[in-house]
Amino acid sequence: MSAPESPAYTELIGHLQKTSLLASCAHLLGWDEQTYLPTQGAELRADQMALLSGMVHERTTSPRIGELLSQLENDSQFNNESPASANVREIRRTYERATRLSQKLVEELSRVTTLSQQAWIEARQKRDFATFQPWLEKIVALKREEATAVGYGDGLPYDALLDDYEPGMTATKVQEAFSPLRDELVQLVQRIAGSTHKPDRSIITSSYPVAAQRSFGRQAAEAIGFDFSAGRLDEAAHPFCSGIGPGDCRLTTRYDENYFPQALFGTLHEAGHGLYEQGLNRNAFGTAMGTAASLGIHESQSRMWENFVGRSRAFWQHFIIPAQRTFAPVLDDVSLDDFYAAINIVEPSFIRVEADEVTYNLHVMLRFELEQPLISGDLQVADVPAVWNETFEKYLGLTPPDDAVGCLQDVHWSAGLIGYFPTYALGNMYAAQFFNAAQQELGDLSEMFARGEFAPLKDWLRTNIHERGHQFQADRLLEVVTGEKLSHQPLTDHLKRKFGALYGLD
Ligand code: ZN
> Would you say residue 38 lies in a domain?
yes
Side chain identity at residue 133, one-letter code = Q
Enclosing H/E stretch for 242: strand 241-245
| CA distance linking residue 420 with residue 294, whole number of Å | 11
Q: How far is CA 160 from CA 28, 61, 421, in A?
A: 29, 19, 14
> Would you say residue 193 lies in a domain?
no
**Nearest of 353, 421, 363, 427 to residue 185 by alpha carbon:** 363
What is the tens place of the pLDDT at every residue in 442-496? Answer: 999 999 999 999 999 999 999 999 999 999 999 999 999 999 999 999 999 999 9
> Would you say residue 328 lies in a domain?
no
CA atoms lying within 13 Å on the CB side of residue 195: 21
Contacts of 421 (CB under 8 A, 6+ apart): 364, 367, 368, 371, 412
Does the pTM surpass 0.85? The reply is yes
Side chain identity at residue 35, one-letter code = T
CA 426 to centroid of ligand 1, rounded, Å? 12
Range of the domain at 48: 7-130
Contacts of 40 (CB under 8 A, 6+ apart): none
CA atoms lying within 13 Å on the CB side of residue 135: 26
What is the tens place of the pLDDT at every residue in 100-128? Answer: 999 899 989 988 998 899 999 999 999 99
Q: How far is CA 40 from CA 45, 48, 171, 185, 267, in A?
A: 10, 14, 43, 47, 29
Could you list which residues have their CB under 5 Å from ion ligand 1? Answer: 302
Residue 3 pLDDT class (50, 70, 90 cuts): low
CA 303 to centroid of ligand 1, rounded, Å? 7
| CA distance linking residue 435 with residue 226, whole number of Å | 19
> Would you say residue 377 lies in a domain?
no
Q: How far is CA 401 from CA 204, 239, 350, 385, 422, in A?
A: 26, 27, 9, 11, 25
Kindly state the percentage of the chain with pLDDT values over 90: 93
Number of domains comprising the chain: 1
Are the C-beta atoms of 108 and 363 separated by less than 8 Å?
no
SS3 (DSSP) at 447: helix
Residue 2 pLDDT class (50, 70, 90 cuts): low
Contacts of 310 (CB under 8 A, 6+ apart): 220, 264, 265, 268
Please give the mean pLDDT across all residues of the chain: 96
What phi and psi values does residue 481 have, to the nearest 5 degrees? -80, -40
277: number of Cβ within 10 Å: 25
| CA distance linking residue 475 with residue 461, whole number of Å | 16
CA 8 to centroid of ligand 1, rounded, Å? 37
> Would you say residue 342 lies in a domain?
no
CA 468 to centroid of ligand 1, rounded, Å? 20
SS3 (DSSP) at 202: helix
Mean pLDDT value of segment 193-205: 96
CA 421 to centroid of ligand 1, rounded, Å? 11
> Would you say residue 109 lies in a domain?
yes
Give the catalytic positions in this structure: 270
Q: How far is CA 8 from CA 74, 88, 93, 291, in A?
A: 12, 11, 18, 21
> Would you say residue 58 lies in a domain?
yes
- Fill in the DSSP letter of residue 58: H
CA 236 to centroid of ligand 1, rounded, Å? 14
> Would you say residue 300 lies in a domain?
no
Instruction: Give the chain's length.
Output: 506
What are the respective helix, strand and coil percentages of the chain, to the nearest 5? 70, 5, 30
393: number of Cβ within 10 Å: 12
CA 158 to centroid of ligand 1, rounded, Å? 22
Q: What pLDDT sits at residue 13?
A: 96
Q: What pLDDT sits at residue 380?
A: 98
